Chain A
Amino acid sequence: MSIWRYANPVEFMALSGRVLPPLAVLTVLCLGLGLGWGFFATPDDSRMGATARILYIHVPSAFVAINCWLMMLAASLIWLVRRHHVSAVAARAAAPIGATMTVVAILTGAFWGQPTWGTYWAWDPRLTSFAVLFAFYLGYIALAGAVEDPEKNADLTSVLCMVGSVFALMSRYAVLFWNQGLHQGASLSLDAEENVADVFWYPLVVSIAGFVLLFVTLLLIRTRTGIRTRRIGALMQRLG
């Protein structure tokens, strides 16, 4: 069985319709557990005090904001190479989710920055690259809404997505590229010694899982809406 069968809208709608209810329940459970655990049951950090609790929203939203663009890149490449319409619809459906997650990451970072750095905003490499990433999300959404022809729309947004991927990667690695600025390094790493302490790490991982599940759930719903909207357009033409 090939995964490409789900590039067929009928197959995709059938599978996503079956998957969505349990996925939504799992998302609520995971988000509730991660955020509840992080907010109510973790101690204050020795340096940052109670503000360390912002970690459980800030890091997951930033993680999804960056990886959403990379998912859009993968879907765009599938469109450009294989011309599967579902992948083009999925890339377009993901953009508002990524833009929202970017806003959440910037906003929670601003709340965290005030007591930690003494300012809500600074033109730090990571903060600036996130602002640029947000601008790319807005540009992508505007372009996707401006071109009526679906194929041309998908071609243009796919090219924009490839260009924006440079900034998505830059958002992730800005601290390493410039090695300066206010923002600290990554809170999570494959190297256990670089991670935050276990008492913060476990609820953080659950919270990240919750945000990823929220992204997938919303993506499936929005992709289904996109497929239905295309079908509506086709029927409208036939009905005159």
Chain B
Amino acid sequence: MPDLGKHAFVVLGAYVSALAILAGLVLVTWAEARAAKRRLARLEEQMKDKTDG
């Protein structure tokens, strides 16, 4: 760990807040993608059942 001296708060604050925001974006993107994929699979199954039956 580098010696950040009196600037430790601003340097670590910048890194921690930025990485937390970016991690949030990645998580939201991943969760939305997963939800859409599952919902589409369910609907396509229903559509298949409707056309088959």
Contacts and interface: CB of A to CB of B under 8 A. Distances in A.
B18 A40 contact: no
B50 to A, nearest CB: 7
Contacts of A228: 36-37, 39-40
A39 to B, nearest CB: 7
Contacts of A51: 7, 10-11
Nearest to A54: B14
A61 interface: yes
Classify the interface of chain B: helix, strand, loop or mixed: helix
The interface size bin for chain B is 20 to 34
Interface string B32-53: 1100110110011011001000
A61 B4 CA distance: 22
A146 interface: no
A163 B17 CA distance: 31
B18 A61 contact: yes
A100 interface: yes
A169 to B, nearest CB: 24
A192 interface: no
Nearest to A57: B18
A39 B15 contact: yes
Interface string A210-240: 0000100010011011001101100110110
28 contacts: A50-B3, A50-B4, A50-B5, A53-B2, A53-B4, A53-B15, A96-B25, A97-B25, A104-B22, A107-B17, A108-B14, A111-B11, A112-B10, A115-B7, A115-B10, A214-B22, A218-B26, A218-B29, A224-B33, A225-B36, A228-B39, A231-B40, A232-B36, A235-B46, A235-B47, A236-B43, A239-B46, A239-B47
